[in-house]
Structure 1
Amino acid sequence: DGIGVGDVGNIVLRDRKLLSQDGILTVVVTIDKESNSVLAGPDIISRGFVYVKESEALMREAREIIKDELDKCLDNNITEWFVIKSNIKEALGAFLYKKTKRSPLILPIIMET
């Protein structure tokens, strides 16, 4: 009968509002599991946050923050992906808020080989 189709809960509406205001950053990194080293990245994909070509300095600094966080984790033999992702989110989120006064959704994607 179609009842309930298209109904959107309050949480979904709140999330959509936050995304529309602050955007999303996807961070993609490839790590070699055996050597605990970064093979590729970090690559940052921005949607609705900043226009990357106009914010190259900010993105360069953000990559350095991510690299530093990854190095700390890998140097301390932290291999749990949820810990690494959480550390990246916290460090990058604090940096971006300090620089832009915006809090985009940060989605780290870690691939391993």
Structure 2
Amino acid sequence: MALAKLGVVVLDCPEPRALAGFYAEVLGGTVEGEGDWVDLKVPGGPSLAFQAAPGHVPPKWPRSDRSQQFHLDLVVEDLDAAEKGVLALGAEPLDATDRTRTFRVYADPAGHPFCLCAC
């Protein structure tokens, strides 16, 4: 028996509304709130929340001295099309050169790693 149920995944960042907007363009959904806490209500999935973190230092993938701590795996049907879209939204490629794999690694505009994964 579970002791709890996942409520929301929260990402620390310098600009919550801007990062929520990035993920809204990637995942769809509705951005709600202003200020230090902003929610992204994702259709058919768990919500993401974005919390202001003054002095936020983004992780560096794959360095152990600035560990990623977590990452999001985003499932897509077309890796090339999804890559084009996230790059246009401001994502930075971290490990996307090996086209034989079923995943590619990027950083969002606040530096959090995420993967685009083929279904």
TM-score normalized with structure 1 length: 0.25
- Per residue, is there more helix in 1 or in 2? 1
- Per residue, is there more strand in 1 or in 2? 2
Higher RCO, 1 vs 2 (CA within 8 Å, ≥6 residues apart): 1
TM-score normalized with structure 2 length: 0.24
Structure with the greater alpha carbon radius of gyration: 1
